[in-house]
Amino acid sequence: MYANRRNFLAGAGIASGLGAFPMAGMRAVASGTAPEPDFGPKIGQALLSRNENPFGPAPSAVRAVSDTAQLGCYYADRGLFKLRAMIAERHQVKPEMVVIGSGSTEILCAIALAWGKEGAILCPNLFWDTTVLYGERQGASSIRVPLDEGMNVDLPAMAKALTDEVSLVQICNPNNPTGVLIPPRELSGFAAQVRGKATLLVDEAYNELTDFPDTNSMIDLVRAGGDVIVCRTFSKIYGMAGMRVGYAITSEENARRIGGYLMSFGGNISGIAAAIASYDDFGFLEKSRAMVLEGREMILDAVASAGLRALPSQTNFVYVEVPDANAVQAAMAERGISIRGAYGDWTQYSRVSTGKLEDVSRYAAALPEIIDRLRG
């Protein structure tokens, strides 16, 4: 079944175009005869644990890196200003409303520091909270609200938890690790409840992989003058996770505030050049998205074949309900397949990322056997 899908994509010209994309950090080496590559998966490993997009960077990005490598002795300011202007033009905001950082992680950490000094961070109890934890280590506090029974971000419960002590409300949409999207109308309604009480931060790292990216974004609230911060990244759809370029769109006042807490200075030439070159590379984005979504469908088919269920995903990963997430992770690791184990108390959910289709096929073939064994 999976081979037929791959052949279909190749016949459509999608797989063949992506198959020529250079894979950063990979070498043509024989197993056992050369050291492991410095970057990317180990030799023979199916890397499906880190929400990376192995179909990038785009050829346009790779060429830009090559063309600018000899200019690495210079700071990246002019390129940074150009990228900021490109982002502002697409989203119809002023360049002063765009903040660029070393991945969206740096920006999210800066926000946690800045707003954490003023009050608590209100957030779900299951989301990508690495940056909130960073803020907590620097003295910030958080108020965590459980997901509802359907594993959705519980917006009504978060609204009830919004008190005067809260300075920032942080949401990841679609959520990580669940992959579930909050419908835009519901999130906009929640934003209206937050307005005037706290700043709303929406991490949209996976927005471009949703069915309707523009509709699902909260950038229109920024344009309308709301106290809202939207974060995006080049790590996912653009396949540039290791190149560390991310950005936020918000008010000029918030942008200045965030900028005062950034730790990097001016960005790196390679990442900025790659981002400039591929930002409007819609041909690559369409091909990349098609392959990611094909991998996601393969995972969902495998889940059904194994008699399991998964949460509805609008991302490049799937949250699968299993007997024991850590046991599934260990069994997959024995087969050279890397997936995530349990997130905290959620021991019956296993997150698996899309990756190269041949790697997803390995996961799909192994899953039913592993689940049968765990069920005894």
pLDDT in tens, 352-370: 999 999 999 999 999 999 9
Tokens, residue 245 = 């370029």
- Show the domains of the chain with their CATH numbers: 2-56+282-375 (3.90.1150.10), 75-278 (3.40.640.10)
Torsion region of 231: left, alpha or beta (phi above 0 gives left; psi -120 to 50 gives alpha): beta
Rounded average pLDDT over 124-144: 95
Identify the pLDDT of residue 359.
Answer: 97
Rounded average pLDDT over 167-176: 98
* Distances, alpha carbon 254 to alpha carbons 118, 199, 250, 357, in Å: 14, 9, 6, 41
Rounded average pLDDT over 316-334: 98
CB 180 within 8 A of CB 151: yes
pTM above 0.85, yes or no: yes
Mean of all residue pLDDT scores within the chain:
91
Identify the pLDDT of residue 33.
Answer: 67
- Give the DSSP letter of residue 42: P
DSSP 3-state assignment of 265?
A: coil
pLDDT digits (tens, 9 = 90+) for 227-247: 999 999 999 999 999 999 999
Rounded average pLDDT over 290-318: 97
Q: How many CB atoms lie within 10 A of CB 33?
A: 7
DSSP 3-state assignment of 44?
A: coil
Identify the pLDDT of residue 32.
Answer: 54
Identify the pLDDT of residue 36.
Answer: 87
Q: Residue 15: is its pLDDT beyond 70?
A: no
Q: Residue 5: is its pLDDT beyond 70?
A: no
Element (H, E) at 302: helix 282-305
Rounded average pLDDT over 249-268: 93
For residue 355, the number of C-alpha atoms closer than 13 Å in the C-beta half-sphere is 24
Rg (CA), the chain: 21
Instruction: Label residue 265 by pLDDT band (50, 70, 90).
Output: confident
Identify the pLDDT of residue 24.
Answer: 41
